[in-house]
Structure 1
Amino acid sequence: MALREINFDGIIGPSHNYAGLSFGNLASTKNAGQVSQPRAAALQGIDKMRANLALGLAQGIFLPNARPNRSWLAELGTDYEHADAPLAAAAMSASSMWAANAATVSPAPDTSDGRCHLTAANLRTMPHRSHEWPGTLAQLKIAFADPAHFRVHGPVPPAFGDEGAANHMRVTSKHGERGLELFVYGVTGGAFPARQHLQASKAIARLHGLDPDRTLFVEQSEEAIAAGAFHNDVVAVANENVLFAHELAFADRAGLVGFCESRLPGFELVEVPAAEVPIGDAITSYLFNAQLVTPPDGEMTLVVPTEARETPTVWSWIERHIAGNGPIRRVEVVDVRQSMANGGGPACLRLRVVADPATVDPRFIVDDAKLDKLAEVIRRTWPIDIDNADLQKPSLATDVEAARTALLEALDLTELA
């Protein structure tokens, strides 16, 4: 069985809007009330996936969840048309597009039963995300249904917050070989809520059957959280034997590096000093919320948003690193401005799964032809723009629901309706 990394991107849904629901996410708060462009946003996401395919990477998709979430509103004793504005906005949220929060993934080489384990994230900290997991779990159970190769877990009980792979990293010599799993958690009491709880991370490690000697729980620095790093993937990303991180990412940098160096020959830390790239610049540009990938040609590549190129300190650091002898050999720039304006960069939009693509339900795997098909549906059915003042209009809800139905039909996934 040929294991390789597959990036599953969340298709940006037809209800994409800027309601400013995510406290602690500086971009989401800054752009609250702006007019969104769901059609342009989704097509930007499609183009990002095309760029990944052009690099030779395996590419998958997750679909938007049903919006507005009428069943969730019914549980709260109301409906979309009569809910107060914040509740209606939460029910219409398109945040499932950020597939890095869909689940935590442990590849088969790391687990005690030799299967790839996926645990859906409960996302309990933010109301607009807390109702995502049933729709996400339904997709995970279909995409990874083969019991010989996968085990899909429901979310950790909501007593403990879990935000998925955005707070989880893996370092290894090669994707298909045994690795070290790093769970990053926050401590409450700072300027913003810590979304990933230590006990949630420990529960996932137990559920996945991970070797305790090859599993580390790492505290995110309070300085990073206070600066707007609401998830670890805003200040750090790993790929194979490389950990790419900001100097201020972790509370115990030395302990993390010592753990990795003692267990993984060839481990390499690529650290960006705060003196060269202030943490504020790193966060607003999403330098670390990039895809760090290894294409078939072996040249480790950093896929960054256009905002990274437009931030002088960040782009200068990237150019110096690429010109030197560091492990990151190439940089690719993608336009995901609509997602960025809501606080999600290239890494937010994807969930990494190491598996044999042949073991995944083929409806969730894409090539250029399938992306052409998806783009046609999006151009035909996605709203051009959404003004927050129109969020509770019945006509918008009808349009959003019809657009998602068209996508499900195009992919032959109507069981998710």
Structure 2
Amino acid sequence: MENRKKVAFYTLGCKLNFSETSTIARNFQDEGFDRVDFEDVADIYVINTCSVTENADKQFKQVVKKAMKLNDKAFVAAVGCYAQLKPEELAAVDGVDLVLGATEKFKITDYINDLSKNDMGEVHSCEIEEADFYVGSYSIGDRTRAFLKVQDGCDYKCTYCTIPLARGISRSDALDNVLKNAYEISQQGIKEIVLTGVNIGDYGKGEFGNKKHEHTFLDLVKALDEVEGIERLRISSIEPNLLKNETIEFVSQSRTFVPHFHIPLQSGSNEILKKMKRRYLREVYTDRVSKIREVMPHACIGVDVIVGFPGETDEHFLETYNFLNELDISYLHVFTYSERDNTEAAEMDGVVPANVRAKRSKMLRGLSVKKRRAFYESQIGTNRTVLFEGENKEGYIHGFTENYVKVKTPWNPELVNTLHEINLSRIDEDGSVRMEFLNVEA
């Protein structure tokens, strides 16, 4: 095919962004473009941006620079959360030609008729109130697992968060459409689907723009469990107040849902949780963890936590540290608080100095290492199922068990994207777990 244009993609941020990039890429391919790797020379580079951390803003500029180095005549488009929040700022970055906000990003191919470079990025963004429709998406082709988007936007008003400003109100995909997408993914030979969204526990709200809960998150989970051809389903991040006992119980007996939960906590101090305008107190969090442990003692439980929120004293931080230390969880994702424009928290008193934030972050990261190690040790000697990934890392192939233990064994290309019964034998120096195969043919 002569003269087909090449397009490359770069994703910053979360699993939801990966699923949306993948969908946008398929739109380009449907329009006759060839997708190439970001490291290759392309005619168009599309960067899906993130606004959650300060770092993501800086990364954007580096990615644009990288694209310009590969082809200084290439057309560069920015989409995603940062593009919605600060379109003019992105448009001013040297090399950027097009910036699309929340409602426009899925129509990107409509804007790419003229690929000549602009002196200044052209902006098409919307008032976020206009982002009231839903576009389903999922990622395939990049890995052994697919990210399936089931929900978008958020109605919560957490004082540190810009996501509602970047993605609009909470709205969900129709159940039939989620099941259709899940089936399509299963037909591609992908073994694991990770459910993703901004606030997936809120699933069912705002189907087709209304606010009525047509289906609940539990309905979604039960329906997905019936889809033929899917080996594994994983719930990504879910708010503690929206993770109901019925869901935990269903997962514990499910055919495909794995015993792995990622539940944001943000702070172990009730006082700070209130300042953050979170919709639960720490006691609810303790209940969730106890319930999971009661029905799935071997489950993996991950926790998001923010350090250095305005007004967080040493006492508040120690409250969080001790709370997490005593809680039977498996690992932490630690975020250092960073001020975001147009959020309540940015105006609050009691700013925590950067060096104190860094010190607290380091302490919690150390605790996370300890927790993960203890969790892995508790799993030694047990039989699990592993799904192997596709990369040869220094002569080893890695994979994850259903309860998210990272295992390794000498590289064998035939193992890629296959599931195997294994016994977890010992922890290696790099922190991953060595294993023995239980099924003879491997």
TM-score, normalised to structure 1's length? Answer: 0.30
Q: Which has the higher contact order (CA 8 A, sep 6+)?
A: 1
Bigger strand fraction: 2
